[in-house]
Chains A and B, each alone.
Chain A
Amino acid sequence: GAVVSQHPSWVICKSGTSVKIECRSLDFQATTMFWYRQFPKQSLMLMATSNEGSKATYEQGVEKDKFLINHASLTLSTLTVTSAHPEDSSFYICSAFGGAIFYEQYFGPGTRLTVT
């Protein structure tokens, strides 16, 4: 099956700094990737849709200047949390949409961000 990786799997940063999370589709090309946020014991909340070569589309209520998304190639999308604050601490998950099957998304293992 299709494999999606994320790096790092866990990161701790200080308040006010920025952190970059990478999402890679390892064995297929993904024209579209999605970024989710998951709070403990809660569902995944879609943050933004990332399309290769174009600007990301953000969901309502998600600050695009805070969560910078870049999809520079068909296998890589990055999420940069700028000027992180403790309330940004969360589990960030990416998924890649690809292949011939409509709507199927392949999920990465997630990145645990802790802002101190």
Chain B
Amino acid sequence: AQSVSQHNHHVILSEAASLELGCNYSYGGTVNLFWYVQYPGQHLQLLLKYFSGDPLVKGIKGFEAEFIKSKFSFNLRKPSVQWSDTAEYFCAVGNDYKLSFGAGTTVTVRA
């Protein structure tokens, strides 16, 4: 079974700061990797996904993530955050049609 770990439980930063959220997974086979975002009071939305090809994936709202196979990592980045990026961020690993989620990281952006 795969497991997903997110290193940061809560990240607080100011607008225009850069954001990087760590995600590591444990699974020996081929996986599909996802980052989801959950804004306050809203449902989960897909930020970006990696299936194969270029390990640097660009998603919506200026987010990107890099798949490093040797490190079993899929870290999320945004060069300059906005107040509206305040949300819960979940890394997920997909295998056999199922998703395993990390514990999530709460990101608070102060204006």
**A contacts, CB < 8 Å to B:** 4, 32, 34, 41-46, 49, 93, 95, 97, 102-105, 107-110
Contact: B43 with A108, CB < 8 Å? Answer: yes
Contact: A109 with B98, CB < 8 Å? Answer: no
- B25 CB-CB contact with A under 8 Å: no
Contact of B90 among A32, A43, A109, A110 (CB under 8 A): A43
- B101 CB-CB contact with A under 8 Å: yes
Give the number of residues in B that approach A within 8 Å (Cβ atoms): 20
Q: Give the CA-CA distance A4 to B43 in the complex, in Å.
A: 10
Decide yes or no: A104 and B49 within 8 Å by CB, A46-B98, A49-B97 being known contacts. yes
- B13 CB-CB contact with A under 8 Å: no
Q: Give the CA-CA distance A67 to B50 in the complex, in Å.
A: 32
Residues of B within 8 A of A97 (CB): 97
Q: Give the CA-CA distance A41 to B38 in the complex, in Å.
A: 12
Q: A44-B99, A46-B100, A49-B98 are in contact. List 8 more A-B contacts (CB 8 A).
A: A4-B43, A44-B90, A95-B44, A102-B32, A102-B51, A104-B49, A107-B44, A109-B43
